[in-house]
Structure 1
Amino acid sequence: MDPYTPRTRTGARKKNIGLSQKEYTKITGTIASVRRHRHPHDDLEDDIDQRNHVSREGNSRSHNDSSFIAETSFVRAPLNSRVVSTSAAPKPKGKGKQESLDRVPLDIQEALILEDLLFVLMGIEGAYITFHPEYSPEDDDPLQGIRFVVSPSLDSSLSDLVERILPLGTYYTAIFAFVEHRSHLDYGLVNHALCAAIREMLRDYQTLLSQLENAFNTSPSFSLQKLWFYVHPTVHTLSLIYQLILELATADDPGAASSSSSSSDDEDEEEAARNEALGLGGASLKAVLSEINKGDIAGGMPGGSGIAVKGGEVLTIIYERMQNMSGDPTAGAIYGKLLKQAGKPYVAMLRDWVASGRLADPYEELLVKESKFIDRGILEMDYTDEYWERRYTLRDGSISAGSSKRHQAGVPPPRSIGGRLPGGACVPPLLDSWKHKILLAGKYLNVIRECGIEVTRDQTYANEDLSMDDERFYKFIEDAYSHANRTLLQLLLKDQQLIPRLRSLKRYFFLSQSSFLTHLLDLASTELRKSSKSASVVKLQSLLDLALNTDAVGEDALFREDIRVTIAESGLYDFLLKVVTVSGVVKAEEAGGEEELKKEKEEKKPMQAIDAMTFDYNVKFPLSLVISRKTILRYQLLFRFLLHLNHVEQALSSMWAEQKTTPWRCSVPTHPEFVGWRLRVCLLRARMLAFVQQILAFVTFEVLEPNWRALEAKLDKVVTVDQLLRDHVDFLDTCLKESMLTSSKLLKACSKLIVVCQTFAFYSSSFTKSANQAIAAAAETPSADPSKAKRWDVLNKFETNFNHWFQVHLDCVQFYASSDNVSLLPLVVRLNSVKAT
């Protein structure tokens, strides 16, 4: 069939046009000649082009043409390949010089330009509407779209209307290229869903073009004004999509690759642990990472950035555009539909996570991140809260609902343009206030699943289509969080007997009403006097078991096998001072004082087993989430402090018993100086014993017991697992603070005082020996005592040290009691009573 030629209907139409039948025949031949000239059949390249593209001759398709080209990837929809983007196709060859429209009648110009516009709206170059002279398929970014220019010889009355329609071609080619590009697997499910939604809108646009082409071929009254009337609403619609895809395409940060490589010097904690497990050292690890990074860059990572625009970042960009253009109803409808469609896979992953505890996020798009190298096997060997704190985390690094701080390790740097976190680390604004409940709901269910308990999904919302702009979705999250929280809380408190466990911890570590410790110290006195390196842990453990078997009753008898003896590597006060004064330790190391540290290590006396002994507690998953290594360490610090106080009190009491013997009771009237010295020794011992007893009583009855009762009251009313964990840690931190173990000044003064008392008790036998020597000397030579000066010198040193550090300690306690630790006020009264004696 011949190409379409405008035809006349009646005489009235012919009168309006003013052309004879001969002139119409001539025009028909001209248009047919133009069409044949555009697709010559005798050229080989045009024959290949004809086989790969849809023929422009609507009624004369070649028998060998196909409506689909060969698919190169399963991710491209067939409809994407019906018309190949001209950005990837070479310009048609063999086309002659563009004919001028100066002498062509206006209605013929309109007919010619209408035909060109129908091709241009599909991104195909026409005869009189061509690519911009600066357009280059090889150099230009296809996501920017193809710009078209109209022939300058076109009549100005038509040219103005054509210029209004031409942006549709640019929009269509850019959107088509975006859909084709972002449908790749690497861009994730959210981008795939967005591309599917945009493809659906393009299908409506293509349907409109098919109808316009049919009207052009069948209706003589079809005009440029009618074309503009039909496509005018579509211009605004496609412009909105075009602006969105431009923002998505340009959101990739070009500097992210360099920033990520520079930030890789600060090694991520998760990667460090994984690399250590794989045996990769520093140099070899950097080499491997360098090769991987090179491979990623060579592989064509979008924009050269480390993380493509995907997941939550895509939803955030769409939502922000919708909010910024809230005054435009069309924009609200378009962006709202795209947000709902693109968010479907995101919502589906969230629903699966909060309802079953399973994280199915193959492209790392979700706000929750899983560290797979942390599994339950680590907990079986060394129960730790890493499973709770680090296996599942938020990608943006936020750690609690009330804190703006972030874990910098593992959190990608924000985009240089816009400041958004890239990829899944960008939390959609609609979910920002819910992200912590989303994280905890999945974590709770995951712990339950790890215990072998099947998690049943709530079927209330199973068949409902939820979206992020639907209130029912947030009701679903709230219900899932409440269900997971109740289930795990019941598992910990009832099935796992958490509260009885905590009571046994209190009894063993806080030494409250525990006679087993006195029994243990009596049985292991010989072993505890040895150095910490030579003491037998096995023997101490057997003696502990013996002491517990004779003392444990009730609930304590159920958990006595979980307590065991360990020997610490460092002294209590040295360890605490390093913890509270980390900056000083770092500066000492940075100063390069290796010789000083070595000398200090050599001069340091070996530590006795009694100073290094502590208890450890064995607990299995899931109780290890509450009684974690960090909490056990806090219990151990308090235990070692109480044990040291008990040991010094016992030593001073033994010294008091020894001072009731003959050398300290006999009358020596001829030596009043010796009687005075003996009285001063007894008085100093009494002051030291009073000090130690006051500290011990304060810590036990005014710190540990009241705080424990407060914790029990909270445990009776606890409603969330996170609150349970927080209350337990707060209880231990409060006990440490009020026991003066978190302030370097208080700790230093108190430790010096206790060490002075302990050393004084060690000199008990020396004092008795000096007393015996003085009595013997008085019997032989009443006027002379050769050991007098040495005896007084030792006593004066002890008195001077005790008085000095006691005053320093009292001043520190008074200062902190009047500023930030009012719980020390009772201790001020107790210390003043010691001072008065």
Structure 2
Amino acid sequence: MESYTPSHVASSSRRSKANHRQQHQVKNPGATWEHKAPGAEHDQGSDVKDHIVRSNRDTRDEPSFIAETSFVKAPLNSRVISGTARPKAKGKAKQESVEHVPLDIQEAMVLEDLLYVLMGIEGNYITFHPNYSLETDPLRGVRFVVSQHLDPSLCDLVERVLPLGTYYTAISSFIEQRSHLDFGLVNHALCASIRGMLKDYQTLLSQLEHAFNTFPQFSLQRLWFYVHPTVHTLSLIYSLVLELGSADNPPEEDSSSESESSFDAEEEARNEALGIGKSKLKAVLADRNGRLTGDSGIKVKGGEVLAIIYERKLSMSGDPTANMLYGQLLRDAGTPYVNMLKGWVTTGRLVDPYEELLVKESKFINRGILELDYTDEYWERRYTLRDGSTSSNSKRHQAGIPPRRAVGGRLPGGACIPPLLESWKHKILLAGKYLNVIRECGIDINRERSSVGDDKSSMDDERFYLFLQDAYTHANQTLLQLLLKDQQLIPRLRSLKRYFFLSQSFFLTHFLDLSYGELRKSAKSVSIIKLQSLLDLTLNTDSHGEDITFRDDLKVTMASSGLYEWLLKIINVKGMENVDETNPVHIQEDPKKEKGKDDKKPVLAIDSLTLDYNVKFPLSLVISRKTILRYQFLFRFLLHLKHVEQSLATMWIEQKAGSWRKLVDVHTDFNKWRLRVFLLRAKMLSFVQQILSFATSEVLEPNWRTLEAKLDKVTTVDQLLRDHVDFLDTCLKECMLTSRKLLEAYSKLIVTCSTFALYTSSFNKSANSALAVIGAPDQDPDMKKRWDFLSKFETNFDHWWLRISLCEETSHLHFL
């Protein structure tokens, strides 16, 4: 029997048809191979790559595969298995035949198998793992095992190469799965980048196959020499694929099967009768389990993909290969994300079809709701960050934020902001919001992008952040210029201050005098048209300067409840966020609430009178319904004080003459009662005047000057909005309108003063009746009633005065 040589195997087994070689080796393992002329053999020391180049020039000397029609038509027919069945008996026979084959022949056989295995195809001597099936998670890859009859020295080398087949199949499955539309543009870009890397791997395999077919000295050692750098590269991609696949939090099949088995016929019938059939109840239970386990049901896409890649890059920063690989994947996958960001910060348009970006839009909120928006929804909620954070670190808008992943603790999908953009997220949000407001005004945004906007920039490029800063600065300055200069924001605010803060007291006094009779009616029966006509008449007479321009925007309205009842209702609201004494609750009044109580005690028009101010977009962002509500609180507070002051002053005028000035020596009890009435009226008038002077001179005016100083130095639109709201909140707090204890005592005291003034005619009647019985003072039957009536006012006033004096919030009120 002739001996075997590697050249025989290389020249025969690598050129014969695959099925013929397999059948020949199984049936006749001892057959001799045709010798090849020594001169035809290649140089033993030549390099494989050099040989590949030379062989490409001499392809005309090689035999063609065209004549071998069976190989051309189905080159992998003998390798691909249909279904799940495998020819176990035949494979076992082939594996056993390896024992009788010399080591060189085994190496040649296993080399051919490896070239298939590296593409995920099962070989003759390298087969699928026994536990592998088509139901196995494809992202885990296909595991291969080597025939136990193979020589141990070859097995060790083959097992080093085998992970490449697992990596390749897993990565290919990942690309096939994540290329669907639902996974978004970032996943598509990531798959395209990985696909490009796999092309290099496939090119390497084609070169190795060519060397295997043409170079007799090609061995396992040479194969390992060329593929071992690729093993590390594909292992890095494989680990990334596993992490991206495991972050989806797939539901456990076991739990679903157990819950399925728990339904019996009786229980199912009962649930159907209740309208919660088996399918509905399972959906409810799955939703509940998802909330408890942190399964949001959102695919891994957008910012979450970029965050995972970046975290892996940081954790393996000491590995140059990993650092370069993940850096490339981060740049490629982040390209669509960066392009969406550029479109948002340069045009104000949000183009995010798969909800991958850190900014989200509530499309049902538009500028039309500004007329009835008491919560600034257009500005604060139309465009928000998906993670729910705000620049003021408020927890107010946390609704709708998806739960964090059970694995990794990250927010899912677009709610996960890439770490590189974490410090820039608020500027990104505001830049787009500013431009969106400008675009809503009908102004074309013709700003040319900087050079970095046209380049393929990435999130690890410093120029990209210079671009973001430039876009934010441009958007902020453009909108600020529009508000302050073009829309005359500061003159508007000054007009609001003059009208609502009673800086022009003659305007209010004139209006109250003209509408005296109308304001004594109930709020439900008063004529708004008549009051508006009287207001216009007053404004035409008393307005001057800037007020003439904006006087048409001032309107008369009627609130449905009293000021103090409304404020106490707001302060006592339970379960609302951001309810504290420094930040009034941003809610609308509910005219239907406590309707029965309002019917029993009708509110007078003077107690419900308030002013409204109409502004157009975009000024309505600054002078919004939320800020107008604060202005109305302050106006009604000052108006009530002014009205009580006028009533007490009118009472004083009436008590200057007539029976009040007659001294009756024989009726000492009447004289004491009269002096006590004068004293109580003076105390009430002094208190009201002190409060009114304090509110206007020591609260409103100083805070307004502070606001003007801030407006002169304002640099951002967000700061402008915040300064305006802070000014109003400070005024409300210092005017004692945000403390429940103080407001209760203060409202009782003011109501006591106004009620005392309403009884002016009653006191006049009592004084006249007392003088009528001057001749018989001991027989005056009503004197005791007069004292009791006056004592109730004195006791009430002194009680609430003491309560106010003891409040810590009034320690700065020197007149107390």
Q: Which one is further off, 96-105 or 444-453?
A: 96-105
Residues 253-292 of structure 1 mapped to structure 2, 5 A cutoff = 253-254=249-250
Counterpart of 1:71 in structure 2 is: none
CA deviations on 1:215-253 (whole Å, 9 max, x unpaired) are 000000000011011100000000000000000001012
Identity %: 66
| CA distance 1:603–1:613, change in 2 (3 Å) | closer
Contact 2:340 2:350 (8 Å CA) reproduced = yes
* CA-CA distance at 1:354 after TM superposition: 0.5
**2:804 aligned to which of 809, 815, 821:** 809
Counterpart of 1:560 in structure 2 is: 551
Partner SS state of residue 122, structure 1: coil
Contact 1:254 1:305 (8 Å CA) reproduced = no
* CA-CA distance at 1:782 after TM superposition: 3.9
Residue 213 of structure 2 is aligned to residue 217 of structure 1: yes
**1:434 aligned to which of 424, 435, 449:** 424
Alpha-carbon distance in 1 for matches of 2:81, 2:683:
94
Counterpart of 2:331 in structure 1 is: 340
Alpha-carbon distance in 2 for matches of 1:106, 1:625:
83
Residue 786 of structure 2 is aligned to residue 796 of structure 1: no
Partner SS state of residue 127, structure 2: strand
Gaps of 5+ in 2: 27-64, 254-275, 288-293, 578-592
* CA-CA distance at 1:600 after TM superposition: 7.8
* CA-CA distance at 1:574 after TM superposition: 1.1
Alpha-carbon distance in 2 for matches of 1:292, 1:575:
46
Counterpart of 1:642 in structure 2 is: 638
Partner SS state of residue 566, structure 1: strand
Residue 94 of structure 2 is aligned to residue 104 of structure 1: no
Residues 406-805 of structure 1 mapped to structure 2, 5 A cutoff = 407-461=397-451, 462-583=453-574, 601=597, 604-779=600-775, 781-805=776-800
Contact 2:296 2:412 (8 Å CA) reproduced = no
Q: Which amino acid aligns with 1:119?
A: Y
Alpha-carbon distance in 2 for matches of 1:672, 1:23:
139
CA deviations on 1:69-101 (whole Å, 9 max, x unpaired) are xxxxxxxxxxxxx99998996456697243211
Alpha-carbon distance in 1 for matches of 2:575, 2:193:
59
Alpha-carbon distance in 2 for matches of 1:585, 1:200:
53
* CA-CA distance at 1:407 after TM superposition: 2.3
CA deviations on 1:388-409 (whole Å, 9 max, x unpaired) are 1111100000011x52746221
Alpha-carbon distance in 2 for matches of 1:307, 1:472:
32
* CA-CA distance at 1:102 after TM superposition: 1.0
CA deviations on 1:707-755 (whole Å, 9 max, x unpaired) are 0000001101111000100000000000000000010011111111100
Residue 133 of structure 2 is aligned to residue 131 of structure 1: no
Alpha-carbon distance in 2 for matches of 1:440, 1:584:
30
Alpha-carbon distance in 2 for matches of 1:638, 1:334:
63
Partner SS state of residue 308, structure 1: coil
Alpha-carbon distance in 1 for matches of 2:694, 2:354:
57
Alpha-carbon distance in 2 for matches of 1:317, 1:217:
42
Alpha-carbon distance in 1 for matches of 2:118, 2:651:
103
What RMSD, in angstroms, separates the aligned Cα atoms of the two structures?
3.2
| CA distance 1:382–1:580, change in 2 (3 Å) | closer
| CA distance 1:221–1:449, change in 2 (3 Å) | same
Alpha-carbon distance in 2 for matches of 1:88, 1:739:
84
Contact 1:385 1:624 (8 Å CA) reproduced = no
Partner SS state of residue 360, structure 2: strand
| CA distance 1:87–1:388, change in 2 (3 Å) | farther
| CA distance 1:738–1:30, change in 2 (3 Å) | closer
Q: Which one is further off, 210-219 or 599-608?
A: 599-608
Counterpart of 2:346 in structure 1 is: 355
| CA distance 1:731–1:66, change in 2 (3 Å) | farther
Counterpart of 2:29 in structure 1 is: none
Alpha-carbon distance in 1 for matches of 2:476, 2:726:
20
| CA distance 1:503–1:241, change in 2 (3 Å) | same
Alpha-carbon distance in 2 for matches of 1:744, 1:27:
93
Contact 1:37 1:95 (8 Å CA) reproduced = no
CA deviations on 1:666-720 (whole Å, 9 max, x unpaired) are 1211101101100100010000000000000000000000000000011011110
Alpha-carbon distance in 1 for matches of 2:99, 2:81:
31
Alpha-carbon distance in 1 for matches of 2:550, 2:116:
83
* CA-CA distance at 1:786 after TM superposition: 1.1
Counterpart of 1:229 in structure 2 is: 225
Counterpart of 1:172 in structure 2 is: 168
Alpha-carbon distance in 1 for matches of 2:81, 2:12:
37
* CA-CA distance at 1:527 after TM superposition: 1.2
* CA-CA distance at 1:384 after TM superposition: 6.9
Number of residue pairs matched by the alignment: 728
Counterpart of 1:49 in structure 2 is: none
* CA-CA distance at 1:254 after TM superposition: 3.5
CA deviations on 1:607-642 (whole Å, 9 max, x unpaired) are 111111111110110000000111000000001100
Residue 388 of structure 2 is aligned to residue 403 of structure 1: no
Q: Which amino acid aligns with 2:103?
A: L
Alpha-carbon distance in 2 for matches of 1:221, 1:335:
36
| CA distance 1:83–1:659, change in 2 (3 Å) | farther
| CA distance 1:196–1:602, change in 2 (3 Å) | closer
* CA-CA distance at 1:380 after TM superposition: 6.0
| CA distance 1:756–1:32, change in 2 (3 Å) | closer
Alpha-carbon distance in 2 for matches of 1:335, 1:693:
73
Alpha-carbon distance in 1 for matches of 2:78, 2:565:
74
| CA distance 1:612–1:798, change in 2 (3 Å) | same
* CA-CA distance at 1:376 after TM superposition: 2.5
Alpha-carbon distance in 2 for matches of 1:386, 1:380:
11
Partner SS state of residue 531, structure 1: coil
Counterpart of 2:33 in structure 1 is: none
* CA-CA distance at 1:601 after TM superposition: 2.0
**1:33 aligned to which of 14, 20, 45:** 20
Contact 1:322 1:335 (8 Å CA) reproduced = yes
Alpha-carbon distance in 2 for matches of 1:143, 1:332:
23
**2:243 aligned to which of 247, 257, 260:** 247
CA deviations on 1:360-396 (whole Å, 9 max, x unpaired) are 1000000000111112233367697322111110000
Q: Which amino acid aligns with 2:806?
A: D
Alpha-carbon distance in 1 for matches of 2:513, 2:725:
33
| CA distance 1:25–1:545, change in 2 (3 Å) | closer
Contact 2:562 2:608 (8 Å CA) reproduced = yes
* CA-CA distance at 1:493 after TM superposition: 0.4
Counterpart of 1:182 in structure 2 is: 178
CA deviations on 1:271-291 (whole Å, 9 max, x unpaired) are xxxxxxxxxxxxxxx99x989
Counterpart of 2:266 in structure 1 is: none
CA deviations on 1:535-587 (whole Å, 9 max, x unpaired) are 1111111111111111111100111110101111111111111222223999x
Q: Which amino acid aligns with 1:386?
A: E
